[in-house]
Amino acid sequence: MTAYVLRRIFGLIPVLLGMSLLVFTLIHLIPGDPAVIMLGERATPAAIERLREQFNLDKPLFFNWPAFVASGNIAAVMDSQYFAFLGNILRGNLGQSIFTRVDVATELAARLPATFELAVGGMIVALLLGVPAGVIAAVRKDTTIDVAVTSASLVGVAMPIFWLGILLIYIFAVHLGWLPPSGRSTAGIDVERITGLLVLDSILQGQWAVAWDSLRHLVLPSVTLGTIPTATVARMTRGAMLEVLNQDYIRTARAKGLTDARITWRHALRNAMLPVITVVGLSFGSLLTGAILTETIFNWPGMGRWIYDAIGARDYPVVQGGTLFVAGLYVIVNTLVDISYAFFDPRIRYD
């Protein structure tokens, strides 16, 4: 067991290195010179060159062969943008924004709670809707209810997030006026930050009006973000329940006279939850890392919208550091889910 956990942890190292290389390469495929964008089209070549030197944009991307030829020092090959980027990461430095001059790590720490709160909201929606829907579909197999749940889950997976978000805003915010269309709270409302989670902080301080306002702002983006996980959880729950309901101990429970509700919700569901837990863990990682469109549509001040704005501004350090952090978070969540298998299922044995 310990050996397996250690292998999984050390296995993260090549994955994270490969991820850093991929992120760096993809970012630099974006057309446009950040120095020109920052200074404007009328900037002099000398000013542009000085700014490029300041942010190491004048160095080769991967290997500095001219420096190696000139000095004969093998270490000079690594005097490039990628190895400078990698060295900063290993020192815990994700860089500094070209435009705001604020550390990327500082911005991440400020925006992560908003994204985490939105991801939790989306996951709650997925669990509250997906698990009961999957159980009911399994119990009512091959009926109209089963077909409806299966069809709805397919639609949920295929539905574009940006289209659903705009549709929900039009119906519930513009047309009905039930919920706010965007933002994390009403303008002018503020609460002292303890955890960074607005709903939790307002509850801890007894500010119930602020908590209610925050919840109302959280509903539409949570439903939008939780649509795909809801469909995935429903389909996985249905499949796992169908397998469990055909087991011998379920037939034994029926023969003993236990009610269908007790068999379904107390016995069958508990044993069907292992694959569902796996899907929930992976989906939560996806929610943390895939909220860019949702945050942009709903003007949510989280990591996704921050990275989206940085892409448009060609702010390389922000895009590189933010994307690498998000991707690393997803990999770590996946690893934790794999490790959790050894705890939740005693039948699993690792060599």
Q: In whole angstroms, give the CA distance from residue 175 to residue 187.
A: 21
Are the beta carbons of 67 and 79 closer than 8 angstroms?
A: yes
Residue count (the chain): 351
Q: In whole angstroms, give the CA distance from residue 52 to residue 81.
A: 11
The predicted model gives 141-164 an average pLDDT of 82
Q: Is the pLDDT of residue 344 over 70?
A: no
More confident residue, 24 or 169: 169
More confident residue, 105 or 253: 105
Return all residues near 35 (Cβ < 8 A) that are at least 6 apart: 43, 48, 51, 52, 55, 57
The predicted model gives 277-297 an average pLDDT of 76
| DSSP state string for 2-68 | HHHHHHHHHTHHHHHHHHHHHHHHHHHTS-S-HHHHHH-TT--HHHHHHHHHHTTTTS-SS--HHHH
Query: What is the residue whose two structure tokens read 């169908």?
Result: 242
Question: Which helix (H) or strand (E) segment is 96 a member of?
Answer: none
Q: Is 229 exposed, middle or buried (0-12, 13-18, 19+ CB in 10 A)?
A: buried
Half-sphere exposure of 43 (CA within 13 A, CB side): 17
CA-closest candidate to residue 327, choices 20, 7, 5, 10: 20
Look at residue 242 in the predicted model and tell me its pLDDT: 82
Using pLDDT thresholds of 50, 70 and 90, give the confidence band for residue 90.
confident
Look at residue 346 in the predicted model and tell me its pLDDT: 57
Q: In whole angstroms, give the CA distance from residue 157 to residue 236.
A: 13
Q: In whole angstroms, give the CA distance from residue 154 to residue 156.
A: 5
Q: In whole angstroms, give the CA distance from residue 160 to residue 211.
A: 30
Q: Give CA separation, 37 vs 13, 32, 168, 207, 315, in Å.
A: 35, 8, 36, 44, 9
Look at residue 32 in the predicted model and tell me its pLDDT: 64
pLDDT digits (tens, 9 = 90+) for 19-43: 777 777 777 676 666 666 666 667 7
Q: Give CA separation, 190 vs 194, 256, 327, in Å.
A: 12, 58, 31
Instruction: Assign 3-state DSSP to the chain and report helix, strand, coil percentages, each to 5.
Output: 75, 0, 25
**Six token digits for residue 258:** 């236990």
Q: In whole angstroms, give the CA distance from residue 145 to residue 325.
A: 42
Q: Is the pLDDT of residue 76 over 70?
A: no
pLDDT digits (tens, 9 = 90+) for 305-333: 888 778 777 777 788 788 788 778 777 87
The predicted model gives 282-296 an average pLDDT of 75
In order of their start, the domains of the chain are 2-90 (no CATH), 110-344 (1.10.3720.10)
Q: Is the pLDDT of residue 351 over 60?
A: no
CA-closest candidate to residue 127, choices 23, 277, 285: 277
pTM of the model: 0.75
Using pLDDT thresholds of 50, 70 and 90, give the confidence band for residue 71.
low
The predicted model gives 235-243 an average pLDDT of 83
State the chain's mean pLDDT as an integer. Answer: 77
Look at residue 66 in the predicted model and tell me its pLDDT: 65
